Amino acid sequence: MKCPYCGEPDTRVLDSRATQDSSAIRRRRQCVSCANRFTTMEKIEEEPLVVIKRDGRRELFDHGKILKGLLLAGQKRNIPLSRWEELVGELELELRSSYVKEVPADSIGDIILKKLRKIDEVAYVRFASVFRQFPDVEAFKAELDEILKETGEEGQEPG
């Protein structure tokens, strides 16, 4: 590791510690030439996760873009930001642990909907309405009827 003070390529490690979340290693180093000390961080280089859009385009997985969609779906619902961040973290972990480098956007949406349904049904319906691109009100109503049927709260038609 090159010294940031004098440029000497020879440095020695004085101390190594894992970061709090164990995602990186912090190393305290000292230059053998000028004796200045400095810190470096060593982190695993992750393979990029690519999303295959419906039109065939490919783009990098964007944690922020998914979080933004969830925040819109859960707008004015009593769901803390930390819960949305946790959901996106779970999603990314699930995708990365599958060892697939390219994932269709529809697969990502299905995973989100499955998780979202357990959190908040209103946010689920809002997210589904954008993700599934319902062609008309009847298709939207069919989705709502399915939710009601599964939760055992199917509406009764008036007499």
Give Cα 42 distance to the centre of its chain: 22
Does 96 reside within a domain? yes
pLDDT at 156 over 90: no
Does 5 reside within a domain? no
Does 70 reside within a domain? yes
Cα distance between residue 69 and residue 136, in whole Å? 21
Say yes or no: 73 and 146 in one domain: yes
Does 4 reside within a domain? no
Does 6 reside within a domain? no
Say yes or no: 82 and 37 in one domain: no
Which one has a higher pLDDT value, 19 or 111? 111
Say yes or no: 18 and 78 in one domain: no
Say yes or no: 146 and 86 in one domain: yes
Does 158 reside within a domain? no
* pTM > 0.75: yes or no: no
Domain that holds residue 22: 11-43
Point out which residues pair with 43 in neighbouring strands.
Answer: 24
Say yes or no: 141 and 121 in one domain: yes
Cα distance between residue 87 and residue 76, in whole Å? 18
Helix axes 105-119, 63-73, angle to 10 degrees: 40
Say yes or no: 64 and 105 in one domain: yes
pLDDT of residue 153: 53
Q: Domain tally for the chain?
A: 2
pLDDT at 18 over 70: yes
32-90 pLDDT tens trace: 999 999 999 988 777 889 999 999 999 999 999 999 999 999 999 999 999 999 999 99
pLDDT at 27 over 80: yes
Which one has a higher pLDDT value, 109 or 148? 109
Say yes or no: 55 and 85 in one domain: yes
Cα distance between residue 2 and residue 5, in whole Å? 9
When the pLDDT of each residue in the chain is averaged and rounded to a whole number, the result is: 88
Which one has a higher pLDDT value, 51 or 143? 51
Q: What share of the chain is helix, strand, coil (3-state, %, to 5)?
A: 45, 20, 35
Say yes or no: 55 and 24 in one domain: no
Does 32 reside within a domain? yes
Say yes or no: 143 and 118 in one domain: yes
